[in-house]
Amino acid sequence: MYPNDGFRELERQECLRLLAQVPVGRIVHTRQALPAVLPVNFCLDGDGAVLLRTSAASELVRAVDGVVVAFEADEVDSAAHAGWSVVVTGSARVVTDPAEHARLVRTGPRSWVPSPEEVFIRIEPELVTGRELVGGRSLYGVDLAH
């Protein structure tokens, strides 16, 4: 079932199912022409889009609106040397439609650090990839047991 290198590729639906089980991930974007990674809480919308809720004045809003970003979440059991990692790559945009914004206020993610004026960022799941760690090996086949 698993290749000799200790990991297996996950199918899109399995990736989305796993993402729905964790509350925190990392958004990867560009800041001053360099990669930047920011931990964020999130949820998935019905179509598999990743939803973030943040301050309208945040640097993140200006950095990601209208550009392609990556979003990663994982869960690792260091004692068992097992876990998974999922990456969603796609276009990010600030939700500006009033009806969609109102819906997300009711159903979307809750801010862990609320601000007076919040916006939602939607990341369209154009590419969804994932790997599961098994048998004491990392995602890239490196032995974790020693």
User: pLDDT (tens digit, 9 = 90+) per residue, 8-58?
Assistant: 999 999 999 999 999 999 999 999 899 999 999 999 998 899 999 999 999
pLDDT value of residue 61: 94
Number of domains, the chain: 1
Residue with token string 């639906």: 13
In single-letter form, the type of residue at position 90 comes to G
Q: Is residue 104 part of a domain?
A: yes
Name the residue among 145, 144, 146, 139 with its Cα closest to residue 3. Answer: 139
Name the residue among 22, 135, 133 with its Cα closest to residue 71. Answer: 22
Q: Is residue 113 part of a domain?
A: yes
Round to whole Å and give the CA distance between 23 and 45: 13
Is a pLDDT exceeding 50 seen at residue 146? no
Is a pLDDT exceeding 90 seen at residue 72? yes
Cα 104–Cα 113–Cα 83 angle in degrees, nearest 5:
80
Round to whole Å and give the CA distance between 25 and 27: 7
pLDDT value of residue 109: 92
Q: Is residue 138 part of a domain?
A: no
Q: Is residue 143 part of a domain?
A: no
In single-letter form, the type of residue at position 100 comes to E
Give the contacts of 25 (CB within 8 A, at least 6 positions apart): 19, 39, 40, 42, 50, 71, 72, 73
The domain of 115 spans: 7-133
Q: Is residue 12 part of a domain?
A: yes
CB 89 within 8 A of CB 69: yes
Q: Is residue 141 part of a domain?
A: no
pLDDT value of residue 79: 85
pLDDT tens-digit series, residues 85-143: 999 999 999 999 999 999 999 999 988 887 889 999 999 999 999 999 876 544 445 45
CATH of the domain at 125: 2.30.110.10
Q: Is residue 145 part of a domain?
A: no
pTM of the model: 0.85
Round to whole Å and give the CA distance between 138 and 84: 10
Give the contacts of 26 (CB within 8 A, at least 6 positions apart): 37, 38, 39, 40, 71, 72, 73
pLDDT value of residue 135: 63
Q: Is residue 2 part of a domain?
A: no
What element of type H or E holds 70?
strand 68-77
